[in-house]
Amino acid sequence: MDWFLDRAIGFFVDNFPSWQVISIGAPVGLAWSFACLWFAGRLKQNGTKTGYTRKVFHFLIFSTVAVIQWRFDTPAVCVFGVMCTLVVLFAVWRGDGNMLYEAMAREKDAPHRSFFILVAYLTTLVGGLLSNMLFGPLSVAGYLVTGLGDAIGEPVGTMIGKHPYRVFSLSSVPATRTLEGSTAVFIMSACALLSAAVISPHITLSSRGIPQVVVIAAACAAAEALSPHGWDNAIMQIVPTAMVWAWMTP
């Protein structure tokens, strides 16, 4: 426990952003986060299902975080995370009927729609912090797997899912996923891992690289399938990052 506390304190001290990063990153991050959610909200207003709009926002945010981690490092990611949090909290504060809120709030999560928005976002932050604290720049693998792999499951399930299965939920709201969605998670997780190996100098593909990618992608799909409702954003960051650290580092 002391080791973890020391690691956490060291992480925040080492990655506290400079005033230059804050002065540039904060307004840009706030504007971009709002623009991403506004775009998803406009899609919702035009009749797009929530299963798609929430994942549009999800994909845009995680892709942005992956790029920021790759090009500007962890302090800039922290600034962006704070700005995105403000946008999400603003949408939750506005509540039912607001297009920003409706872009994220599943109808099937009623009467706990706000709860599941907050759970998903808090688990996203927890997953990102733990990945960075434990594995540093390798966390880009978790960002890409969650941004691409996890993001594809719900839209595919909404569009073509014919074989649903129940998953554990922390509330009385029933939660289901589909075999078709889980298959899509597996395929896109593999693509995300290959992308991480391309952009990150800290991740390598050995002679056994493809089988390793397949195994990690399968573990990610299983993790997504078994995660409690709302918790997959954390687990889907930590699992691939830890496995990449074990198998795909020089």
Of the segments 21-35, 68-82, 139-153, which one has the largest average pLDDT value?
Answer: 21-35
Mean pLDDT of 114-140: 91
Q: Which pLDDT does position 5 carry in this prediction?
A: 78
pTM for this model (two decimals) = 0.87
Q: What is the pLDDT of residue 191?
A: 94
Q: Which of 39, 51, 143, 148 is nearest to 87 (CA)?
A: 39
Q: At what angle do helices 179-199 and 232-247 cross, to 10 degrees?
A: 50
Question: pLDDT-based confidence at 60, cuts 50/70/90?
Answer: very high
Question: If we measure between CA atoms, which residue out of 180, 143, 148, 186 comes closest to residue 164?
Answer: 180
Give the mean pLDDT of the chain.
Answer: 88
pLDDT at 163: 75
- In this predicted structure, the answer to whether residue 208 has a pLDDT above a threshold of 70 is no
pLDDT in tens, 136-189: 899 999 999 998 887 887 788 777 767 777 766 555 555 677 888 888 999 999
Mean pLDDT of 124-134: 91
Q: Which of 185, 172, 248 is nearest to 220 (CA)?
A: 185
> Residue 6: its pLDDT value, please?
78
**Rounded to whole angstroms, how far apart are CA atoms 243 and 241?**
5
What mean pLDDT is predicted for residues 101-114?
A: 91
Q: Which of 17-31, 114-128, 136-150 has the highest mean pLDDT?
A: 17-31
Domain range for 155 is 2-247
Nearest Cα to Cα of residue 233 among 242, 247, 223, 219: 223
- How confident is the model at residue 175, as a pLDDT? 66
How many independent structural domains does the chain possess?
1
| Predicted local confidence at residue 168, as pLDDT | 63
Read off the pLDDT band of 13 (50, 70, 90).
Answer: confident
Euclidean distance between CA atoms 212 and 218, whole angstroms? 10
What pairs with residue 167 in β-bridges? Answer: 175
